[in-house]
Structure 1
Amino acid sequence: MASGTALIYDEEMTTHKLLWSDPICDIEVPERLSSSYEQLRSYHLVERCVPVPAREGSEEEILLVHSLEHLEVAKSTQTMNEEELKRVSKNYDAFFFHPSTYRCARLAVGAALQLVDAVMAGKVHNGMALVRPPGHHSQRNAANGFCLFNNVAIAAEYAKLKYGLQRILIVDWDVHHGQGTQYIFEEDPSVLYFSWHRYEHQEFWPSLRESDYDAVGLGKGKGFNVNLPWNKVGMGNSDYLAAFFHVLLPMAFEFDPELVIVSSGYDSGIGDPEGQMNATPEVFAHLTHFLMQLANGKLCVILEGGYHLKSLGESVCMTVKTLLGDPVPQITGEMAPCLSAVESIQNVRAAHKPYWKWLAYEDTSFLQNLSTKSHLLKKANSNPSTEDESQITNNNNTVKVERFLELHMKNILLPMPPIKTAATGSEVSEHFFPEHVQLVKEMDKTEIKALVSGFYADLVKEETLLSLGSMFVILDKILKKEVCNGIAASPTAALSAAVALRHSVRFGLQRVLCVFVGDMQMIPNTEDGKMLVINICEKEQSRKTSCKHYISLNWKEDAEGNDFFSAVLGFILPVAYSYQPNLTVIAVGPNRSLGISGISLLVALLRGLAESRIFAVIEDTEISLMQSIAKALVGASTPPFGIYVPPTQEKVNKIKALRDQFQQEWKMLQCSVKDGISRN
C-alpha cells in the first residue's frame, strides 16, 4: 500500500517576476513560493515528506489542453526585451511575462504531472506541488489572471490518458472562479469540477455570468460543473464547511472519483487582499481531511493563488500536516453559516437537483421566487460579517493579520501525542491490527479501583467494572494526551460508553460527543450539555427527554451498504461540527444497523473533530470490523462504496425532519433559505 506524502518545490519557479509597475499584477510575487516553503521548513514538515523533483512539462503534454498558437506565443517570449514583454502581456487580462516565464510555467506543469505519477504509481499516498505561475484561469488559447498554462487541467487530462481514469474530481477552493478549468471541462462528464469563489452578484473579477450557480455544464457535462458563488466578503470557517457538507461531499461520494486534484488557492484565507474572507488556516486542514476519504486517498494538491504571505504559508502547512496524517486542529469560530452562504448553497442544490441522485427527493420548491429573494439578500448582505476576524481582514493591515496569526497558530497547534493509535495487547495478537496501532498494557485491578474510586457505583457493580480495564487504559491515555485515539473491545458497549462519558466529564472535558451504533440500553443524562449523544439504531429508542443533546437517528443501512453517507453528511457531521467536542466516543453495540463500511466512514470523517481524539469501543469483536475501525483511526482512506444507491424517500424525509427539528440549535444543519433565519 502507498504511504508517504510527496512535496514538489523548485526554486527556479521564483525567477518568474514582474519587471515593471502594474498595480493589478504586483501581488503575484516570487516570495509566495519561497516563503511557503520556508514555513514548511520551520514546522519540520519538509523532512517528513517524500521529495519529488519537478520536471518540465513537454509540449505534447501542454497541448493536451492548450492550442499550438498559445504555446508558440509563450515560447516566443523567452528572448524578448522588457518593452516587448510588456506589449505582449497587454494582450491578456492580468498577466505578465518575464524571460523565464515559459520555463517556469513548463516546470509548474511538469510538477503537477510528477505528482500525479507519484500518486497513481503508488510511490506516495498523496502530495502537494508548490508551483508558479498558477493555472486555473488560463484557457485553451489565452493566458489569464496570472496563469499561463492550466496545470490542474493538464494534470487531469494526463491522468485520463496515461492511467485510463474515467472519474476525476477537481476541487477549486481558490477565491477566484477558475473559469479556464470550467471552459476546458464543461462538456466532459469524466471530470467533476467544483469551484467556490467570491462573486458578489457578478461584481468581482472575472465578473462572468457563467460563474454563477446555474452554470452547471453543457451537453453531456451537465451536472458536472458546480459553481458556488460567495455574494459577500467575510465568509468564514463555518461557511466553507457548510459548502462541503451540503454540496461538495455528497456529490463527490456519489461521483466516486478515482483521483482528486485540488486547485489549492489560499486567497480564500484570512487577511488576503484579494479574497477579504475570514477563514483561518486550520479550515484547510479540515477540507483536506474530508477529501482524503475519497479515491482511496489519491489526492494531489496543486498551488494556485494566495497573496498574504503569512496566511498563505500557514494554510499550506495546515494542508501538508493533514496530508501527512497529523491530528486535525480544532476548528475555531462560531459554527453557523451566514444567510448569504446558505442561500448560495441552496441555489446550487436547486440547480443540480435534475442531475444528482442524492438530491432527487430534496424539496427546493420554495426557491420559485428566487430572483426577488436574491435582490433582497443582496441588499441585506451588503456589509461583511462583524466578527473580530472580519475586522482584522477589512482593515487590510498586513502586520495586524500577521500578529493575529502568530497568536492563533500557537493556540491551535498543540504537541502531537507520543502514540497516535492505541489498543490493549490482551484483546488480540499483535498481528491483528494495522502496523501503526501500538499495543499498550492493560490496567490491573488495583489501578482501576484507584482510578474509579466508587464514582460509577450507580452504573455498574465493582466486579463488572474491573472487566473494563482495556477500556479504561485507552481512554485514560487519550484524556492525558499520551495517545491521540484508540480502540477497545468491551463485553457491554452501552455500559462502556456510559462510563467513558462520565469519566471524560469528570476529567474536566466540557463537551463529549458520543455516537452509538446499535441498541443503547442506557441513555446518560445529557441535560447539562456536557455530553451529546447521537444514537444510530434500527428502531425508535424510547426517549425520556426532548433535550437537544440526545438525538435518535433511525437508520437501517441498505444491503448495498452505500446510502449511509447521506445521513453522515446531511445530519451527523453538521451536528458534530456545531457542537465542537473535546472528545469523540464511538461505540458499536448489539443489533447494529450499519455495515462495516458505514461505521468506518463515520470514524474516518469524525477524526476531523476534537484534535482527532477518538475513543472507539466495540462490543462485537468481529475481526473485520475491529480491523476496519483501526485502519480508519490510523488514517487509512475509507474503502470505495461502489455503485451509488440513493437513500429512499422515507430516509431523505427522515433526515429533512431532523434537520428542521434541530437546525436552530445546531446551525451547521442549515442548508436552505427559509423564513425565520435572520442572521447576516
Structure 2
Amino acid sequence: MSVFVLFIAMASGTALIYDDEMTSYKLLWDDPICDIEVPERLLSSYDQLKHYDLVDRCVRIPVREGTEEEIMLVHSSEYLEVIKSTQTMNEEELQRVSKHYDAVYFHPNTYRCAKLAVGATLQLVDSVMSGKVHNGMALVRPPGHHSQRNAANGFCVFNNVAIAAQYAKRRYGLQRILIVDWDVHHGQGIQYIFEKDPSVLYFSWHRYEHQQFWPLLRESDYDAVGQENGKGFNINVPWNKVGMGNSDYLAAFFHVLLPVAFEFAPELILVSSGYDSGIGDPEGQMTATPECFAHLTHFLMQLANGRLCAVLEGGYHLKSLSESVCMTVKTLLRDPLPQISGEMAPCLSAIESIQNVRAAHKPYWKCLMYEETAPLKDLSTKSQQVMEAQLTQTSTHPTAEQAVGNTNRDEAIKTDKFLESHMKRILFPVPPVKTAASIVSKADAHFLPLSVQVEMEMSAQERKTLVSGFDAELVKEEKALLSLQNVVAVLDKILKKEVCNGIVDASVASVSTTIALKHCFDFGLQRVLCIIVGDMDLELSLDDGKILFMNICQKQQTEKTNSKYRISLNWKEDTERNNFFYAVLGFILPIAYNYQPDLMIIVIGPNRSLGVNGISLLTSLLQGLAESRILVVIQDIEIKLVRSVATTLTGVSIPDFGVYAPASQENVLEIKRLRHQFKQEWKMLQCSVRD
C-alpha cells in the first residue's frame, strides 16, 4: 500500500505584472522603422498566458508609476523634462522630437506608459526581494535596454532594468546583481550605465555581424569587457551570422555565462527578456524555438536563491513572442521542462564567438583562468568580399525594409503554422504530484519535504508479483529484493508520468539499477542517461547508445576505458568548497544536452567523490532534461543528502550549492583531457576546446 502526500503546485510563487494601459500608445504616422513596435505585443502575450491558464496560477501585482526620483537613478533631469513635455504635443511636434533620437516614436501617452513600465519593474523587484514571491515577470511597454542617460533609443524611453538594478542596490543594499540580456539587439544603454560598476555583471548576446547590424557599435564586440573597476563585468557575445538556434544559445550559457555567474554569486537576477532572438522574428532572423527560453530560465533560477525578475524587452513576431513568454512563465512556476528540439551542435560562427569571449575574459574570472589567451581571429576585420556580401543581406537599422514585404509576410505565416504544431508537441500536463520517494524505514520519511509522495513497503504478495517480471537470480536475497521494490515502485510512476521525479533508498543499488535500466527499455525508452557517483559497476551493454553511462569516481581510469557511451570522470573534491561547477558546466551538462535522454538516473554509491553540494548541483541542473524526469538512487542513506536532493527535486527552494571554488589544476587537466577525447562525438564540447 502507498501513503500519498500530495504536492501542491506553487502557484503563489511567481508574480505576473501587467496593465492594459501600457497598450495605450501607438505610432501615429508612417514610419517603416518603428511600425513593428505595436500594442499587440503585450496583448497577444497576455492572451496566450490566459489561454494556457497561467495567469490564474500567478500572483497578480498591481502596477504603479515610477517616480521621478526613481527614473533619475539612471536618467538626467533634463532628459526627463523632454519626455514629460511630449504629453501635450500635437502630432507634428511629436514627430519632430522623435527625430532627435534613433528609432523612437512618441505619443501623448508615451510618458505615462514609460512611467508605468518603470513602476511595474520596481514592483516586481520589491515583491521578489520582500519574499512575497520567488520570482516573476513584468510585461511592460515601452522596453528599456537601449535607452541611455540623456537619450531615448531603439523604441526604448526609460531603461527599466537599469533603473531596477540601481533601485535594488539603494533600497536593499545589494552588492552583486546579474543582468542577462537575451534580446537580439545589444542593450548598449545598460552597458554604458554599468561599464565601470563591478557590482553589476551584464551579459548580452546580440546580432552583430561584424558591426554591420544595428546599433552598429564597435563596443558591442567581444573585447568590450568593461572599464576601470568594471573590467570583466561586461560580457558581450556577438552573433556574426543569422540563424543562431537552440544549441548556440545553450552553448553560450554553458561555456560563458553560467561559469562566470556562479563565480559572481549574484544576489538578484534581472533578465532583459527580449524575444526577437526567437524563431520567426523579422529583427533577429534567428531560429531558437520557444522552449529554449524555458531552459535558459531554468538555469538562471539556480542562482541568487531563485530571485529572478524577467522584464519584457523586444519581440516582433507575435506568435513567437507570446509562446516564448509563456514558456518563461511556465518555468518560473516550476513546471517540468519540455525536451528541447533540434540537433545539439553549435555552428562554427557561434563556437568562434564563444571562444573569443572566453579568451577576452580569462584575466578576470577564475573559472576561465586555464583558458588559452589568444582569440581565434580578430572579429573587427573582414575581407572586402565578405563585407560586401554582408551588406547586401543585412539591414544597418533595427528594422529591415523587407520585414514588411511579401517574402517576410509569407515567412511569418509559415512560422505561425510551425509554432502551432510545435507547441502542441512540447506542451504537456503537469503531474499532480511532482516528486515521489521510496524509503525502507517509515521513520526516515519524516525528514522529507511535505510535498513528497512517500511510497511505503509492499506486502509479501506485492513483492512476489513485482519480482516475477525480472530475473529472480539477481534478487534472491531479501536485501536486494527490498532495494528493487523501492526503485521500481518510484520508477514506474515516473515512466507512467504519474509523478515527475523521485528519490529512492536502495541498499543494493547496483542490482536494482541494472534491472531498472532494463525495465526502462521494456517500457519503450530509447535513451537513458545514467550517472553513477562513486565506485559501482553495472553489467550492461553500452554500445548501442541506449544508455549513456557516466561514472564520477576517485579511482583513476585509463583513457582506453572511455568510449562514447561509457565515460569515467576522475574527480578530486574540495572538501570545504564546491569545485564541481567546472565539471558540471564544462563537461557533464554539454554532453547530457547533446545526448537528449528520455530519462535520467543518478546513483549515489559507495566511496563517492562528491559531497552533498556537488550532488545537489548536478541534480538541479540536469532537471532541464528529459521533461524533468529524473530518478535519484541512494545506496547509503544520509539525512543531509536525502533532504537536499529531495528539496532540489520538489523545487520547494533552491539548495545551497556551497561556496564557489575554482577547480584544481589536476581537475582542470582531467576535464581538458576528456573534452579533447570527446569533442568530435559530443559537439556541445567544442566551444571550450581549442585545436
Q: What is the distance in 2 between the residues matched to 1:422 and 1:564?
A: 27
Secondary structure, counterpart of 2:687 in structure 1: coil
What corresponds to 1:388 in structure 2? Answer: none
Q: What is the distance in 1 between the residues matched to 2:384 and 2:637?
A: 56
User: Post-superposition shift, 1:455?
Assistant: 3.4
What corresponds to 1:318 in structure 2? Answer: 327
* Residue 436 (structure 1) aligned with residue 458 (structure 2): no
Alignment RMSD:
2.3
User: Post-superposition shift, 1:152?
Assistant: 0.1
Say which is worse superposed, 132-141 or 394-403, in terms of deviation. 394-403
What corresponds to 1:241 in structure 2? Answer: 250
User: Post-superposition shift, 1:503?
Assistant: 1.5
Q: Which of the residues 186, 191, 200 maps onto 1:177?
A: 186
Say which is worse superposed, 207-216 or 663-672, in terms of deviation. 663-672
User: Post-superposition shift, 1:574?
Assistant: 0.3
Contact 1:4–1:50 (CA under 8 A) maintained in structure 2: yes
Q: Which of the residues 432, 437, 443 maps onto 1:423?
A: 437
Q: Which of the residues 201, 206, 212 maps onto 1:203?
A: 212
Say which is worse superposed, 645-654 or 163-172, in terms of deviation. 645-654
User: Post-superposition shift, 1:104?
Assistant: 0.3
User: Post-superposition shift, 1:8?
Assistant: 0.2
What corresponds to 1:397 in structure 2? Answer: 411
Contact 2:11–2:59 (CA under 8 A) maintained in structure 1: no
Contact 2:503–2:646 (CA under 8 A) maintained in structure 1: yes
In structure 1, stretches of 5+ residues that fail to align are 385-391, 676-680
Q: Which of the residues 640, 643, 656 maps onto 1:627?
A: 643
Report Cα offsets for 1:437-463 as digits up to 9, x if no partner: 122344444444434435334644364
What corresponds to 1:165 in structure 2? Answer: 174
Secondary structure, counterpart of 1:431 in structure 2: helix
5 Å matches for 1:253-272? 253-272=262-281
Contact 1:16–1:98 (CA under 8 A) maintained in structure 2: yes
The amino acid across from 1:216 in the alignment is V
What corresponds to 2:596 in structure 1? Answer: 580
5 Å matches for 1:669-680? 669-672=685-688, 674=690
Q: What is the distance in 2 between the residues matched to 1:376 and 1:444?
A: 78
The amino acid across from 1:419 in the alignment is V
Q: Please, what TM-score do these two structures have when normalized by structure 2?
A: 0.93
Q: What is the distance in 2 between the residues matched to 1:604 and 1:259?
A: 19
Contact 2:480–2:508 (CA under 8 A) maintained in structure 1: no
Q: What is the distance in 1 between the residues matched to 2:423 and 2:660?
A: 40
- Work out the percentage of aligned pairs sharing the same amino acid: 71
Q: What is the distance in 2 between the residues matched to 1:80 and 1:523?
A: 78
User: Post-superposition shift, 1:175?
Assistant: 0.3
- Decide whether aligned partners of structure 1 residues 69 and 181 sit closer, same or farther in structure 2, where only a CA change above 3 A counts: same
5 Å matches for 1:497-516? 497-516=513-532
Contact 1:448–1:472 (CA under 8 A) maintained in structure 2: no
User: Post-superposition shift, 1:469?
Assistant: 1.1
The amino acid across from 1:424 in the alignment is S
What corresponds to 2:567 in structure 1? Answer: 551
What corresponds to 1:491 in structure 2? Answer: 507
Secondary structure, counterpart of 2:447 in structure 1: coil
- Decide whether aligned partners of structure 1 residues 608 and 371 sit closer, same or farther in structure 2, where only a CA change above 3 A counts: closer
Report Cα offsets for 1:480-510 as digits up to 9, x if no partner: 1111101111102222222222211221100
User: Post-superposition shift, 1:238?
Assistant: 0.3
Contact 2:182–2:274 (CA under 8 A) maintained in structure 1: yes
What corresponds to 1:537 in structure 2? Answer: 553
What corresponds to 1:644 in structure 2? Answer: 660
Contact 2:255–2:688 (CA under 8 A) maintained in structure 1: no
Report Cα offsets for 1:126-172 as digits up to 9, x if no partner: 00000000000000000000000000000000000000000000000
User: Post-superposition shift, 1:642?
Assistant: 5.3
- Decide whether aligned partners of structure 1 residues 617 and 64 sit closer, same or farther in structure 2, where only a CA change above 3 A counts: same
What corresponds to 1:602 in structure 2? Answer: 618
User: Post-superposition shift, 1:425?
Assistant: 6.0
* Residue 589 (structure 1) aligned with residue 605 (structure 2): yes
Contact 1:294–1:637 (CA under 8 A) maintained in structure 2: no
Contact 2:577–2:660 (CA under 8 A) maintained in structure 1: no
The amino acid across from 2:481 in the alignment is L
- Decide whether aligned partners of structure 1 residues 373 and 547 sit closer, same or farther in structure 2, where only a CA change above 3 A counts: farther
Q: What is the distance in 1 between the residues matched to 2:271 and 2:510?
A: 41
Secondary structure, counterpart of 2:170 in structure 1: helix
- Decide whether aligned partners of structure 1 residues 254 and 428 sit closer, same or farther in structure 2, where only a CA change above 3 A counts: farther
What corresponds to 2:400 in structure 1? Answer: none
- Decide whether aligned partners of structure 1 residues 544 and 202 sit closer, same or farther in structure 2, where only a CA change above 3 A counts: closer
Secondary structure, counterpart of 1:560 in structure 2: coil
What corresponds to 1:563 in structure 2? Answer: 579
Q: What is the distance in 2 between the residues matched to 1:237 and 1:575?
A: 15
Contact 1:2–1:124 (CA under 8 A) maintained in structure 2: no
Query: How many residues are paired up?
Result: 667
Report Cα offsets for 1:180-221 as digits up to 9, x if no partner: 000000000000000000000001100100000000000000
User: Post-superposition shift, 1:376?
Assistant: 11
User: Post-superposition shift, 1:364?
Assistant: 3.8
What corresponds to 1:277 in structure 2? Answer: 286
- Decide whether aligned partners of structure 1 residues 379 and 522 sit closer, same or farther in structure 2, where only a CA change above 3 A counts: farther
Report Cα offsets for 1:577-621 as digits up to 9, x if no partner: 000000000111111111111110110000000000001111121
What corresponds to 1:517 in structure 2? Answer: 533
What corresponds to 1:387 in structure 2? Answer: none
Q: Which of the residues 23, 30, 37 maps onto 2:46?
A: 37
User: Post-superposition shift, 1:399?
Assistant: 1.5
The amino acid across from 2:275 in the alignment is Y
User: Post-superposition shift, 1:379?
Assistant: 8.1
What corresponds to 1:60 in structure 2? Answer: 69
- Decide whether aligned partners of structure 1 residues 177 and 373 sit closer, same or farther in structure 2, where only a CA change above 3 A counts: closer
- Decide whether aligned partners of structure 1 residues 484 and 639 sit closer, same or farther in structure 2, where only a CA change above 3 A counts: closer
Q: What is the distance in 1 between the residues matched to 2:571 and 2:291?
A: 32
Q: What is the distance in 2 between the residues matched to 1:545 and 1:453?
A: 35
Contact 1:444–1:469 (CA under 8 A) maintained in structure 2: no
* Residue 302 (structure 1) aligned with residue 317 (structure 2): no
User: Post-superposition shift, 1:639?
Assistant: 3.6
The amino acid across from 1:32 in the alignment is R
Q: What is the distance in 2 between the residues matched to 1:162 and 1:307?
A: 34
What corresponds to 2:426 in structure 1? Answer: 412
Q: What is the distance in 1 between the residues matched to 2:660 and 2:92?
A: 57
Contact 2:442–2:456 (CA under 8 A) maintained in structure 1: no
Q: Please, what TM-score do these two structures have when normalized by structure 1?
A: 0.94
- Decide whether aligned partners of structure 1 residues 46 and 453 sit closer, same or farther in structure 2, where only a CA change above 3 A counts: same
Q: Which of the residues 129, 133, 144 maps onto 1:135?
A: 144
* Residue 111 (structure 1) aligned with residue 120 (structure 2): yes
What corresponds to 2:399 in structure 1? Answer: none
Say which is worse superposed, 298-307 or 551-560, in terms of deviation. 551-560
Secondary structure, counterpart of 2:191 in structure 1: helix
* Residue 212 (structure 1) aligned with residue 221 (structure 2): yes
Secondary structure, counterpart of 2:310 in structure 1: strand
Q: What is the distance in 2 between the residues matched to 1:361 and 1:380?
A: 38
Contact 1:116–1:155 (CA under 8 A) maintained in structure 2: yes
- Decide whether aligned partners of structure 1 residues 298 and 2 sit closer, same or farther in structure 2, where only a CA change above 3 A counts: farther
- Decide whether aligned partners of structure 1 residues 636 and 255 sit closer, same or farther in structure 2, where only a CA change above 3 A counts: farther
Q: What is the distance in 1 between the residues matched to 2:341 and 2:101?
A: 40
What corresponds to 1:389 in structure 2? Answer: none
User: Post-superposition shift, 1:528?
Assistant: 1.2
- Decide whether aligned partners of structure 1 residues 496 and 193 sit closer, same or farther in structure 2, where only a CA change above 3 A counts: same
- Decide whether aligned partners of structure 1 residues 478 and 102 sit closer, same or farther in structure 2, where only a CA change above 3 A counts: same
Q: What is the distance in 2 between the residues matched to 1:597 and 1:13?
A: 44
Contact 2:134–2:307 (CA under 8 A) maintained in structure 1: yes
Q: Which of the residues 28, 44, 48 maps onto 2:57?
A: 48
Q: Which of the residues 294, 299, 307 maps onto 1:290?
A: 299
The amino acid across from 1:469 in the alignment is Q
